[in-house]
Amino acid sequence: MIAEFGLAALWLAAALAALQLFAGVMALTRPGEGLGAAVRPVAVVQGALGVIAFAALMVLFVRTDLSVKLVAMSSHSAKPFIYKLAGTWGNHEGSMLLWVTVMGLAGAFVALVEKRLPERTMLATLAGQAFVSLGFYAFLLISSNPFERLPTPAPEGNGLNPLLQDIGLAFHPPTLYIGYVGLSVAFSFAIGALVTREVGPAFARAMRPWVLGAWIFLTIGIAAGSYWAYYELGWGGWWFWDPVENASLMPWLAATALLHSVSVLAARNALRAWTVMLGVVAFSMSMVGTFLVRSGILTSVHAFAVDPERGSFILGLLAINIGGALTLFAVRAVTVTEGKRFAPFSREGALVFNNVMLSAVLGIVLFGTLYPLIAEAMGAQVSVGPPYFNPMSALFVVPMLAVLMVGPLLRWRQDNPGRVGKLLILPLVAIVVAAGAMVIMGGVGVLPALGIVLAAGLAFASLMPLRGRSLKRTPLAIWGMVVAHFGVAVSLFGMASESAFSVEKLVAVRAGDSAQVGPWKVNLKTVQPVAGPNWTALEADMTASYKGGARVAIRPQSRSFWSPPQQTAESALVTRWNGQLYAVIGEQADDGRWQLRLWWKPFVTLIWYGALLIALGGLLALIGRVSSDLRRIIAREKIAYRRERQGR
């Protein structure tokens, strides 16, 4: 029953999306017939139906209803509750259902709360949102029905990929999806504004909170994914330039650029066409990412099914949505009038630089990610990894970060270097000191050394916008900017330090023996078998002591899951304020020794703390912007009310 109920909700939601599109277009082309009034309520009900369908699937997974094909394929009755729940989106169909659910919810949310846009732009926006949703509904209902029944219920489920059975990963996909799909709102806004030609500060102020919201979720989702890859894969790295990671990074780069250009549009009414373009590009990158991940064109833990039909379906959707939006842009962009002008040495100038550099990095990542596909079409099998991505992206990130030190200090329109120079004394001192330290230390690679020097300068420069302000009266949006930019410095320092100062030790030891890695002394006591709900493992009982201090117990495992059969390495971590000890146990050699892989990674945790600061900065800015918008709306209503009373 529940499966049929969910399927019915899904069909209804799809029908309402069609109605939303139809009513929106009709209201735009034939105003005065009253169809426009239907669009908002339909969008809200469509969102609610999506939630109902998704909830139905969650119930099926929690109950492990093995008569449903999807549950039988990717769940198991012996799985812990939380992973049964997470199993809902840990597969192709469920994750696509989550996609349309979030998209419907975003549309409903816009319809409910967005009152600042002109009504016509609003109608075009919701129609655009419905158009994109409709494609994904069709995809679900035609080629990926999550509610499909089996002719006879399966005796037991196939289980969930063990790598995905991890608490961090359970909530990684929903976070990332809210970010991905949240960008659809920016996309639809851009479409709406192109249709009605109303691109201006009001449009930018309306769009900004949505972009900020999606961007915050993307930032957290990427950071969580990176930390998951770091401790779950047992390889000690935190970013592999895996196509799936790139798929999440590309929308983030575009959204970051959009976030900054939308500020220029809101404050100065410049960069109009460019901002609209970025709105289209950001969500297009989300869809490209989905295509790469879901089509199975790339093999990884994320490619749940290799199915050419699905791949071509998503590719078709991609072509229609992106192609259509770009065509509309090409036709309409010329008619968008130029924005206000500004001098190169100004806040706008710095933000344009930031946007161009971010776009260049986006191009580099996109090109590198697609290159293996292009090469394969020409008959060569290649893979592209860090030797390409690291230096090539640094080429554009380094100048961008250098300008980031100065940009927030500049005035809008025009500024003079002399005024700003005084503010940069402290950051410059930090840069010189850090550079000196790097030279004295020696042996640090070029990129990590550059990273540390830039991080030192940026840490101080990012705080400079607060100088001369009363901290209490500083608007939240400024705090947000300062915190986020400081977070960039923190994260950058973590990355550079991990790359420059990590110590690795690979040894084979007998029980009772010790190994030294950096300042840590690690002792292997015994290795014994242990069992979990759906796995068995060999667990190493070890102690670690930092510079001869107290001993901490650590227990890395080599886990064997039995459904589906697979082995994973569960690393053990000891976190200190100044870094992490990372331990993995390998195989037992014929002579009875155990392989141990140990790393000491100074300040590695700053990578993710920095990312959290960046997200926190976004949150502060979001709260600041929304509350000041609210205040403005309330003030306007008060004035209107007073006028009305006087007039009477």
Could you tell me which of 117, 119, 114 has the C-alpha nearest to residue 34? 119
Give the one residue of 78, 343, 398, 527 binding other proteins; rule: CB under 8 A: 343
Which CB, 536 or 566, lies closer to other proteins? 566
- CA dist 535 and 568 (Å) reads 10
Task: Report, in Å, the least distance between residue 258 CB and other proteins.
Answer: 15
- Choose one: 241-249, 353-361, 600-608, 631-639; the region binding other proteins (CB under 8 A): 353-361
Would you say the C-alpha torsion 261, 265, 269, 274 has a positive or negative sign? positive
Which CB, 217 or 274, lies closer to other proteins? 274
Segment 527 to 566, residues that bind other proteins, using CB under 8 A:
558, 560, 564-566
Quick one: DSSP state of residue 162? G
Contact pattern from residue 132 through residue 161 relative to other proteins, giving x for each residue in contact according to CB under 8 A and a dash for the rest: -----------------------------x
Task: Report, in Å, the least distance between residue 83 CB and other proteins.
Answer: 17
338 lies in the binding site for other proteins (CB under 8 A)? yes
- The string over 589-619, giving b where at least 16 C-beta atoms fall within 10 Å of a residue's C-beta and e elsewhere, is eeeebbebbbbbbbbbbbbbebbbbbbbbbb
Segment 291 to 320, residues that bind other proteins, using CB under 8 A:
299
Provide the token pair at 339: 């924005």
Q: Is the distance from CB of 605 to CB of 502 less than 8 angstroms?
A: no
Task: Report, in Å, the least distance between residue 33 CB and other proteins.
Answer: 39
Task: Report, in Å, the least distance between residue 306 CB and other proteins.
Answer: 9
The Cα-based distances of 84 to 36, 46, 384, 468, 642 in angstroms read 42, 27, 35, 54, 57
Give the one residue of 85, 375, 435, 478 binding other proteins; rule: CB under 8 A: 375
- CA dist 320 and 354 (Å) reads 30
- Which H or E run includes 547? none
Q: Residues 6 or more apart from 344 whose CB is under 8 A from it?
A: none
Q: Is the distance from CB of 606 to CB of 524 less than 8 angstroms?
A: no
Which CB, 151 or 379, lies closer to other proteins? 379
Task: Report, in Å, the least distance between residue 410 CB and other proteins.
Answer: 15
Segment 158 to 187, residues that bind other proteins, using CB under 8 A:
161
Provide the token pair at 368: 């590198």
Which CB, 123 or 365, lies closer to other proteins? 365
282 lies in the binding site for other proteins (CB under 8 A)? no
- CA dist 413 and 348 (Å) reads 7
613 lies in the binding site for other proteins (CB under 8 A)? no
Could you tell me which of 138, 151, 167 has the C-alpha nearest to residue 72? 151
Size of the site for other proteins (CB under 8 A): 56
Q: Is the distance from CB of 90 to CB of 161 less than 8 angstroms?
A: yes
Could you tell me which of 129, 190, 126 has the C-alpha nearest to residue 329? 190
Give the one residue of 335, 416, 516, 567 binding other proteins; rule: CB under 8 A: 567
Map tokens 């009709």 to a residue. 26
Give the one residue of 142, 506, 531, 640 binding other proteins; rule: CB under 8 A: 506
- CA dist 603 and 166 (Å) reads 24
Map tokens 């976190």 to a residue. 575
Task: Report, in Å, the least distance between residue 343 CB and other proteins.
Answer: 5
- Choose one: 1-9, 385-393, 494-502, 619-627; the region binding other proteins (CB under 8 A): 385-393
- CA dist 355 and 344 (Å) reads 14
637: Cα separation from own chain's centroid: 37
Task: Report, in Å, the least distance between residue 483 CB and other proteins.
Answer: 29
Which CB, 384 or 466, lies closer to other proteins? 384
368 lies in the binding site for other proteins (CB under 8 A)? yes
Give the one residue of 29, 152, 381, 470 binding other proteins; rule: CB under 8 A: 381
- CA dist 634 and 303 (Å) reads 49
- CA dist 132 and 14 (Å) reads 11
Task: Report, in Å, the least distance between residue 72 CB and other proteins.
Answer: 15
- Choose one: 11-19, 216-224, 357-365, 484-492; the region binding other proteins (CB under 8 A): 357-365
Task: Report, in Å, the least distance between residue 414 CB and other proteins.
Answer: 7
Provide the token pair at 629: 């918008």
As to burial, measured by CB atoms within 10 angstroms (0-12 exposed, 13-18 middle, 19+ buried), residue 459 is buried
Which CB, 566 or 578, lies closer to other proteins? 566
Give the one residue of 153, 385, 421, 533 binding other proteins; rule: CB under 8 A: 385
Give the one residue of 392, 403, 428, 503 binding other proteins; rule: CB under 8 A: 392
- CA dist 361 and 395 (Å) reads 9
Which CB, 516 or 627, lies closer to other proteins? 516
- CA dist 564 and 561 (Å) reads 7
644 lies in the binding site for other proteins (CB under 8 A)? no
382 lies in the binding site for other proteins (CB under 8 A)? yes
The residues of the shown chain that bind other proteins, judged by CB under 8 A, are: 161, 234, 274, 299, 338-344, 352, 355-357, 359-360, 363-364, 367-368, 371-372, 375, 380-385, 387-388, 391-392, 395-396, 414, 506-508, 558, 560, 564-567, 569, 584, 586-587, 589-591, 593, 595, 597
